[in-house]
Structure 1
């Protein structure tokens, strides 16, 4: 891994050779996943839609056999559309409407389901409206709006079901394990920036809202949990900015399935009853602590002495895959490595440990409040430096 993460000072010719190597991997009739992982682990070139395609492969949406791609994509995109048709139903449009009305006490009433859905939808709506406010992207119109939604006179726009909200400019992430963080968000110039677009158009945040609502409906045992919006955001951004038009126009459906696959791997982080299990978030935080103790016992001892508990910082780092600690471009680069590593979330622990080790001097010079603020607002350290250090720790811990 250290070799993989050597400083990338590519000349133009070496960069072209790197692109050629990736093309050779992706153009194989049956893609060698181990070679793809090895390449992507060092960062996926941000050109020609490479990242969008590679993430589809690394997160098991596309099979390694290229001959099966068209069939796979066609099947899943049609399936997603079918789910939309079934889920985005407006009360009052049902058959036998006289038997089903808003005041019905029947637990099977579709109006009853509608009102219960709105409870989750209200939270989703709040969260997606403040997704990456430092970027204008999510407030911009998508080039591929869902026609039966944007031409429904608002009846199928999910945000119309919960009404307009005045959104607090802070993002609170908490799960019963103590204070995590209140992250100040970039100030908005006007609440109108949160409003849906006019008839015939929809903003990217509205598309993300729809994906999360469909996921919530299809996974009632888990439902929607705050923070999922931060996981889906980078995936959707990657797919919706794909320069390959035939991929970009299906960003919504493909994002849904890739997000679902990723959530199947990290879902236990979001389920409180599983906190103490081997795959739960408490155990993951414990692993970060153990890894730090192995690699820098002085810093670990100092954190314990000052009562700096993992839930003050590493809870959010782990649960949201570091998506709140870095800018979106940096997150995309970090996720290239996370999705490429065969022991994906073992490397996440290495990254978290590296982040602490790299600011050890500042930690050792601080008191409780200073250290907590430092860890909750991670300083400006180059992503490349962090990943290099994480790779170094990974090699050391596997020896």
Structure 2
């Protein structure tokens, strides 16, 4: 208890400086951020280059970015919804071949929304947080008297027609007003603002823990803007790892997920050649398991509290995600005996469902530090 109080004091002292010492902050966060006082929420914003080290600039930057996000919502969700509510142009119709046709954009958006929604609904399905109502809903989108009724109808009827929806006592689905719904809108905005990449399956697993952390901030003045803040932190993070979501780079030896899997295999061979050779003997290719581990930053391999702890270290990693490769190697080395003694189907099941191993995360992280 005394040691933990000392850690809380260390975070308090570091974050209360007029200019934050990044080296000290990285060291503290690498060993885990406390939940208390919103320390994790604040630290992640700094480590993901959303907040500068000069604390005196925070207020101005946050106001500017949150205002910009509100502009994105208005421009890409509210205004199109109002136009659609007013009806399409008379000379426009669903079969119009004109690339500027409103209907063409409408159908394309629906396809994207359908994919995002399917993925978001798989986000931590056992965690009530994503199903509960958000504490700070966007009035323009969810209010019953809103002029942007079309957006809700598109999501509920056009996009989600194959899904079962919860309906409130007024006969309206309440999905849009949940944290799940706001994760959907954040990804929708990101996809529209990055047309060269758009939305790729798995991005929901990257956004989820960020949004959860910010929306769980005990400070209401920060929690209120969790959606905007998570959008920009997600965007910054994607700028760093976007190559691993580009399919054409999957086999590239210099960048992309192919390069990361090659580094992972080399690291494992350097640290435990016997285990590496056994994996080769089983023909257990990294594409079968490490592809997901590396692409999604281990967000599907551990319960959410453990994912948050892992991401403390990953975001604090000065070499940006080299430690991720060390953790992946440590995971295999933690189940070394099973891999050596079991057959291919058993080992495959284990590495594709690592939670079944019930290996303590602290043991994995300690081994990863040794590997590093």
**TM range, smaller chain:** over 0.9
Distance 2:181 2:127 in 1: 15
1:139–1:193: 8 Å Cα contact kept in structure 2? no
Instruction: Tell me which residue corresponds to 1:220.
Output: 195
2:41–2:214: 8 Å Cα contact kept in structure 1? yes
Instruction: Tell me which residue corresponds to 1:113.
Output: 105
1:155 equivalent to 2:150? Answer yes
Distance 1:162 1:216 in 2: 19
Distance 2:262 2:172 in 1: 45
Distance 1:146 1:66 in 2: 28
Residue aligned with 1:344, SS: coil
Distance 1:329 1:132 in 2: 11
Pairing of 1:42-121 with structure 2 (within 5 A): 42-88=31-77, 89-90=80-81, 91-93=83-85, 97-121=89-113
Residue-pair matches, total: 360
1:137 equivalent to 2:119? Answer no
Instruction: Tell me which residue corresponds to 1:175.
Output: none
Residue aligned with 1:140, SS: coil
C-alpha change, 1:325 and 1:165, in structure 2 (3 Å) is farther
User: Which deviates further from its counterpart, 364-373 or 323-332?
Assistant: 364-373
Pairing of 1:118-197 with structure 2 (within 5 A): 118-151=110-143, 152=146, 154-157=149-152, 159-160=155-156, 162-166=158-162, 191-192=164-165
How far the C-alpha of 1:31 sits from its partner, in A, is 0.7
Distance 2:318 2:257 in 1: 20
Instruction: Tell me which residue corresponds to 1:39.
Output: 28
Residue aligned with 1:118, SS: helix
C-alpha change, 1:223 and 1:45, in structure 2 (3 Å) is same
**Aligned-pair RMSD on alpha carbons?**
2.0
1:291–1:353: 8 Å Cα contact kept in structure 2? yes
Distance 2:175 2:365 in 1: 44
How far the C-alpha of 1:192 sits from its partner, in A, is 4.2
1:239 equivalent to 2:214? Answer yes
1:347–1:390: 8 Å Cα contact kept in structure 2? yes
Pairing of 1:174-323 with structure 2 (within 5 A): 191-192=164-165, 198=173, 202-277=177-252, 278-323=254-299
2:84–2:150: 8 Å Cα contact kept in structure 1? no
1:281–1:319: 8 Å Cα contact kept in structure 2? yes
Residue aligned with 1:156, SS: helix
Residue aligned with 2:277, SS: helix
Distance 1:45 1:375 in 2: 29
How far the C-alpha of 1:282 sits from its partner, in A, is 0.9
Instruction: Tell me which residue corresponds to 1:16.
Output: 5
User: Which deviates further from its counterpart, 323-332 or 374-383?
Assistant: 374-383
Once the two structures are superposed, residues 64-103 of structure 1 have per-residue CA deviations (whole angstroms, 9 ceiling, x without a partner) of: 1111101111111111111111111125357983344434
C-alpha change, 1:201 and 1:301, in structure 2 (3 Å) is closer
Stretches of structure 1 lacking an aligned partner (at least 5 in a row): 1-11, 168-190, 395-399
TM-score norm. by structure 1 comes to 0.86
Distance 2:337 2:84 in 1: 63
Distance 2:129 2:246 in 1: 30
1:25–1:36: 8 Å Cα contact kept in structure 2? yes
Structure possessing the higher relative contact order (Cα contacts under 8 Å, 6 or more residues apart)? 1
More helix by proportion, 1 or 2?
2
Question: In the alignment, which of 346, 366, 372 is matched to residue 388 of structure 1?
Answer: 366
